[in-house]
Amino acid sequence: MGPADLRKALEVLPRASDPNVLVDASTLDDAGVYRLGPELALVQTVDFFTPILDDPEDYGAVAAANALSDVYAMGGRPLTALNILCFPDSKLSPKILEAILRGGSRVLAEAGVALLGGHSVSDRELKYGLAVTGVIDPRRIWTNAGAKPGDELLLTKPIGTGVLATALKKGKLAEGHRAALTASMLQLNREAAQAALGYEVHACTDVTGCGLAGHGYELAQASGAALEIELSAVPLLPGALHWIERGLKTRGDTVNRDYVQQRYRVEGRPPKPLVDLMFDPQTSGGLLFAAPPAVAAPLLAALRAAGAIHSARIGRVVPPAESVLIFR
């Protein structure tokens, strides 16, 4: 079962009839939004996963950065969080558990988010993550749905966490590449989101498990448009190209190609590994913005100045077509 099957199963969920539900799962968005008043809404999300790093404190910290990201990707401000932990108590020492929770708490403190509690169950496989609640101005919510043909696409973090985490699991990742991978996943999307709040943004999502292709596909579909991506402009983590060239794909590669229903087209003759990286599943990836052309240059400068130093213009929004994604 992949994300496409899951989406299908989710269709049995009743559509919210409460007029205060401003964003729900139906637009494939990062988080749900519930209006409390004319100027205030709740933004809520949950995310958890199995370890992607061998250091337990880093794993906990990345899980927290990743969970917070869905609030930032809507333009919201996270306020509170609850831990979710599935823990094989017979196999792992309490020290590991403590390190994971310490990592998560460290990132929450950095983000100014209060931990209110959580829940743990014993399970065969370790999983950790958080449910996060924030606030947002209901008059300015960044969804997937507002991109317009002519908009430029900006991405705030380099791609390649999936393939690099796989190399790490196999014990093959060079120390420098491992450090860059960890640093990128630990970087909060807060600064980039805050910087972008000062500009006209038509759509935004964070880039996570479905890869740049999958999340770009969601944004394009929700907006009734297509995306053209300049592969050579997409920022990559050091080592990502090396490992993808050696065929080190994750299972997510196939899943993500199915997810976009093969509705992508490659123009010209770009190197195949660059196309492959579009399907690499990301953890705690960057924000993908669609913004009007006049805004793109100042927004890019603001993102870089805010610390998202790898931010780049990676393509544009084009009218809807048979191919939802065009890689060139």
- Nearest CB to Co ion, comparing residues 241 and 317: 317
* CB of 70 or CB of 253, closer to Co ion: 70
Cα–Cα distance, 162 to 166 (Å, whole number): 6
- The nearest distance, CB 27 to Co ion, in angstroms, is 9
Scan for tokens 């003759």, then name that residue. Answer: 269
Q: For residues 132 and 44, is the Cβ–Cβ distance under 8 A?
A: yes
Nearer to Co ion, 27 or 120 (CB): 27
- Of the pair 159, 204, the CB lying nearest Co ion is at 204
- How many Å is the maximal CA-CA distance in the chain? 58
**Residue 264 corresponds to which amino acid?**
Y
DSSP code of residue 14:
P
Backbone angles phi, psi at 316, to 5 degrees: -150, 165
Residue 130 near residue 104, CB atoms below 8 Å: yes
Looking at the Cβ atoms of 204 and 248, the one nearer to Co ion is: 204
Environment class of residue 185 by beta-carbon count within 10 Å: exposed (0-12), middle (13-18) or buried (19+)? buried
Binding site for Co ion (CB under 5 A): 30, 47, 70, 73-74, 142, 204-206
Q: In the numeric block, which tokens belong to residue 132?
A: 């996060």
Amino acid at position 66, single letter: N
Of 103 and 281, the one with the shorter C-beta distance to Co ion is: 281
* Pick 142 or 259: Cβ nearer Co ion: 142
CB of 78 to Co ion, least distance (A): 13
Q: To the nearest whole angstrom, how small is the minimum distance from the Cβ of residue 77 to Co ion? A: 14
Instruction: Tell me how far, at minimum, the Cβ of 278 lies from Co ion, in Å.
Output: 17
Q: Which of 255, 264, 275 is nearest to 220 (CA)?
A: 264
To Co ion, the closest distance from the beta carbon of 219 in angstroms equals: 9
Least CB distance to Co ion at residue 46 (A): 8
Structure token pair of residue 79: 């306020």
Q: How far apart are CA 308 and CA 191, in angstroms?
A: 7
For residues 48 and 127, the answer to whether their CB atoms sit within 8 Å is yes
Q: Report angle CA 221, 274, 169 to the nearest 5 degrees.
A: 100
Encoded tokens for 32: 């749900």
Q: Cβ closer to Co ion: 243 or 279? A: 279
Task: Provide, rounded to whole angstroms, the least separation between the CB of residue 90 and Co ion.
Answer: 30
In the complex, the smallest distance separating the C-beta of residue 293 from Co ion, rounded to whole angstroms, is 21
Closest-approach residue to Co ion (CB): 30
Environment class of 117 (CB within 10 Å of its CB; exposed 0-12, middle 13-18, buried 19+): exposed
